[in-house]
Structure 1
């Protein structure tokens, strides 16, 4: 379920993000549009859901040999999402 939500948020980001030459007034208008806000909010939602998905994988791993890598993936996902979300806040 979490993977589907991440996929939807990722597709929404690509669809909603306006594409324009950033060195022109059209690019400035694109950055100021509501579409850009929707794109960034969807990226933030995806970055919140990714570590939660890792946690779900970690919780569902019943084999002892996969618990260490699953814990490492969840930890790295949490650590990586925090700074990346701060990039999108701006």
Structure 2
């Protein structure tokens, strides 16, 4: 299972610094970062793709992260 996040933030550099510092928490939530993209046309938009090892822990992490400003959309995906 994968998790795709769309993050809209007014301060990409600040968000990216906090995101990098959160690597250990993501690991404990059963998430492995596969890819991180920054929108080519919208400065404050990023997308992150994770491998999910434990959905319940990943959902709890997503809920915690939603409290850190900016809009975030989370989609749990299965390979078709």
Say which structure is richer in helix.
1
| Structure with the greater alpha carbon radius of gyration | 1
Q: Which structure has more strand as a fraction of its residues?
A: 2
Whether the TM-score (by the shorter chain) exceeds 0.5 is no
RCO greater where, 1 or 2, for CA within 8 Å and sep 6 or more?
2
- Which TM class, normalised by the smaller chain length? under 0.3
Q: TM-score, normalised by structure 2?
A: 0.28
